Homo-oligomer: A and B are copies of this chain.
Amino acid sequence: MPRTADHDQRRAQILGGLLRVAARDGLHAVTMRSVAAEAGVSLRLVQYYFTNKALLMRAALDRLDAESRARWADRLAALGPAPGPRARVGALLAEALPTDGPSRLFHLVWTSSAVLALTDPDLAAQAFTAGPARLERDLAAALTADRDHLAPGADPATEAARLLALAHGLGTGVLSGLRTPASAREVLDYHLDRLFPGLPAPATDAAPGDTEATHGAGTSAEAT
């Protein structure tokens, strides 16, 4: 095989361009040409490495999903061994808030795609509803396991639904600039205070990089 290039690196470079365009100009501005220009490659290369636009978008969403899962795992690992129920639930939901650059990018692109999927049938094949549904089931199971720490009369399944709806609502509030990441976290802690009475909020729980919500936030871009 002659002149063999690093396909993974090339693909990452192109996807980085895509995400930068999406973050800056919105998902509708993501075209083959704009991605190529932003990534510093020719249009032909985007075709070569991703065949067509649908596959390109799918790869981008897959990458975002993987990054998000990784951040979530990091957050859980950072809790140390045997974290309390509230800390675990808090870590889970903190990832649902677009607090820093990469997270904001993820939520922007993901939300845009989910909205498109509402009417686009083949995009809907993506896990836009399966993912959240599974998350809600898992959360309900976790709450059921910890039910003796919950407020009296609380129903784990409904509490799981309430938590996820709240987190999502807060997330879009932050995304639209209606709410700062800090205030969203406050509301979330307020909610957890009432869900887990007697369990205080962990001390320095806040992640770094909480800034005033601004448009056109930082890009994550590089490397897989």
The chain B residue sitting closest to A22, CB to CB, is B119
The interface bits of chain A over 207-220 (1 if a CB of B lies within 8 angstroms of the residue's CB, else 0) are 00000000110000
The interface bits of chain A over 171-185 (1 if a CB of B lies within 8 angstroms of the residue's CB, else 0) are 011011111000100
Chain A: interface residue total (CB-CB under 8 A): 47
Given contacts A28-B116, A115-B111, whether A165 and B187 have CB atoms under 8 Å apart is: yes
Chain B residues within an 8 Å CB radius of A187 = 158, 161-162, 165
CB of A129 closer than 8 Å to a CB of B:
yes
CB of A25 closer than 8 Å to a CB of B:
yes
Shortest beta-carbon distance from A220 to chain B in Å:
16
The interface bits of chain A over 97-134 (1 if a CB of B lies within 8 angstroms of the residue's CB, else 0) are 00000000000100110111111100010001100110
Q: Are A168 and B158 in contact (CB under 8 A)?
A: no
Chain B residues within an 8 Å CB radius of A167 = 169
Q: Are A173 and B177 in contact (CB under 8 A)?
A: no
Question: How far is it, in angstroms, between the C-alpha of A207 and the C-alpha of B21 when the chains are bound?
Answer: 43
Chain B residues within an 8 Å CB radius of A24 = 119
Q: Are A162 and B166 in contact (CB under 8 A)?
A: yes
15 A-B residue contacts at CB 8 Å?
A: A24-B119, A26-B116, A28-B116, A108-B118, A115-B115, A132-B173, A132-B178, A158-B187, A162-B190, A162-B191, A164-B173, A165-B170, A168-B168, A169-B170, A172-B172
